[in-house]
Amino acid sequence: MFDYDFMRNAFAAATIVAVVAGLVGYFLVLRSQTFAGHALAHVGFTGATGAVLIGVSPLWGLVVLTVSCGIGMGAMGERLAQRDVAIGIILALALGLGLLFLHFFTAYATQATALLFGNVLAVDDQTVWTLLGLGVVSITLLAVISRPLLFASLQPELAEARGVSPRLYSMLFAAIVALATAECMQIVGVLLVFALMVGPAAAAQQIATRVATGLVLSAVLALAEAWAGITLAFYTDWPSSFWITALSAGVYFLAAAWRAALAR
């Protein structure tokens, strides 16, 4: 399997993205903002197709638009959890605009499919290095704000009384989520971002009782699911995105069943 360059690139890209998604996704689930993360993926699709329309790399188009919209969502602060309807409308509009952009460039239909469902086996060397750079930035920023972010997530009123601005950290975290979402889209696509961003983190929170343990477990689960998904795709010729999604769902259901059994 590793005799092929495209497989080595696939594993390298999946490793970077899975670690970032596992760490960022843990806070995303903890803050109950998973729907907002899903919306950012659709916004990223619009950015990517718009970039293709003007002759720019799709990756940079989706990064710029997702980060911009992520900061805007973060500015809504704690009200974000009560804005599901507005986010849903933005989500649908973004996907519609993306399809409109593709209407003008029908030659990119194959590329659109890759954006929607992902194609980790098509990742080249340059994309791997770009993902590594974005991954380092994402994890570094998350490490810097992790303690006040956790404080603001669990005790927002007390955090604000202690001088920690929930709105500021919400904006910073939303920008990090946007970067992580842009990376995940390269592996599983717009429609399946939940597989890496939410599945492992939700499973980890079913098992771990400490934040540090949960963070590590979330990253490990995401990494294991990504590696196993690519391996199964190679030997079965089924899409890697399907396998990653199926494994993510399976692990979560097992973790939830284990948690329920302990509660009896």
Distance CA 255, CA 209 (A): 13
Structural domain includes residue 81: yes
Task: Give the range of the structural domain holding residue 103, as residue numbers without chain letter.
Answer: 5-194
Structural domain includes residue 111: yes
Kindly state the percentage of the chain with pLDDT values over 70. Answer: 86
Q: How confident is the model at residue 228 (pLDDT cuts 50, 70, 90)?
A: very high
Q: How confident is the model at residue 7 (pLDDT cuts 50, 70, 90)?
A: very high
Structural domain includes residue 214: no
Contact 62, 45 (CB under 8 A): yes
Structural domain includes residue 166: yes
Global pTM reads 0.82
Structural domain includes residue 231: no
Contact 164, 185 (CB under 8 A): no
Q: How confident is the model at residue 176 (pLDDT cuts 50, 70, 90)?
A: confident
**DSSP 8-state class, residue 4:** S
Structural domain includes residue 13: yes
What CATH number corresponds to the domain at position 32?
A: 1.10.3470.10
Q: How many domains does the chain have?
A: 1
DSSP H/E element including 114: helix 109-117
Scored b (16 or more CB within 10 A) or e, 164-202 reads: bebbbbbbbbbbbbbbbbbbbbbbbbbbbbbbbbbbbbb
Mean pLDDT, residues 55-67 taken together: 78
The pLDDT of residue 189 is above 60: yes
Structural domain includes residue 125: yes
Mean pLDDT, residues 238-243 taken together: 86
Smallest Cα–Cα separation from 49: which of 120, 87, 97, 119?
A: 97
Write the pLDDT tens digit of every residue in 85-136: 666 676 777 777 777 877 776 655 556 566 666 677 778 888 889 889 989 9
Q: How confident is the model at residue 79 (pLDDT cuts 50, 70, 90)?
A: low
Q: How confident is the model at residue 255 (pLDDT cuts 50, 70, 90)?
A: very high
